[in-house]
Amino acid sequence: MIVVTGASGNVGGQVVALLATAGERVTAVSRRTAELPEGVRQVRADLDDPAGLKDAFDGAEALFLLVAGQDPQAILDAARAGGVRRVVLLSSQGAGTRPEFYRHPVAFEDAVRRSGLEWTILRPGGFHSNAYAWAESVRGGRTAAAPFGDIGLPTVDPADIAEVAATVLREDGHAGRVYELTGPAPTTPRDRAAAIGAALGTPVRFAEQTGEEARAQMLRFMPEQVVEGTLAILGEPTDAERRVSPDVERVLGRAPRSFADWAGRNVAAFR
């Protein structure tokens, strides 16, 4: 049995669906009730309360773990006590490139490495799906606002992250690996707005935000440290952050999906 945390979310929901389709027994963990494929066991629990995870982990062999909750060591102890032998952690590129800003994922990576479990760490860069932040302004006024409109980064499709996670959870040969997950090519925010326009068949205007405007918007839903790290990556990416990683193709045997492909599959959110 495989336990998937974040099952009500973007990546976790897709990991659950892929594992269930592959015939695995799955326990889906989240605080909210998630819509799940038939046969998937749902456990509502908070990663901030590791004692409450006992039921979820009972009889499990593998765990897909998100960075959530404050005590990764206690989560991993509960997992091991329940029978888990393999853990796949969804960390973040910033844990490698800007550890001073990304302390939460760094703490989870350290705990996973020390856990005694067979581990694999996934470090995605920015997600294609961060463009959902534009859904309302594109629907209402065909406008997309972001800072650093001409700086390119190889954002990654959450569907590819989920497919890598589902593969690594089921397949041997990935123990002790850290996979950097990116898309197939850098795109700028201006390119991404244009790709959404192309998917809609009508232009989307790109509006350049100042760093201050973006900071104020991001502080509404991200901790301050992560906002500073994210703005640094978006505005002054290092070579490592601009680099297209070979790891999605290494694991899946096919190229990662482009932003334009994501926009085409998710165009309904912008209509």
68-107 mask for ligand NAP (x: CB under 6 A)?
xx--------------------x-x---------------
Q: Which of 271, 14, 6 is nearest to 166 (CA)?
A: 14
173 vs 206: CA distance, rounded Å = 44
Is 57 near ligand NAP (CB under 6 A)? no
- DSSP designation for 210: P
CA 103 to chain centre: 17
Tokens representing residue 155 in the block? 């954002």
Is 16 near ligand NAP (CB under 6 A)? no
CB-based contacts of 184, cutoff 8 Å, min separation 6? 154, 244, 255, 256, 257, 258
Stretch that binds ligand NAP, among 25-33, 72-80, 191-199, 252-260 (CB under 6 A): 25-33
* Residue written as token pair 């329940």: 82
- DSSP designation for 53: G
Angle between helices 103-114 and 72-82 (to 10 degrees): 30
Give the nearest residue (CB) to ligand NAP.
9
Q: Which of 31, 113, 205, 215 binds ligand NAP (CB under 6 A)?
A: 31
Stretch that binds ligand NAP, among 27-35, 170-178, 186-194, 259-267 (CB under 6 A): 27-35
Q: Which of 15, 53, 67, 131 binds ligand NAP (CB under 6 A)?
A: 67
Catalog residues that contact ligand NAP under the rule CB under 6 A.
5-12, 30-32, 46-48, 66-69, 90, 92, 124, 126-127, 130, 158
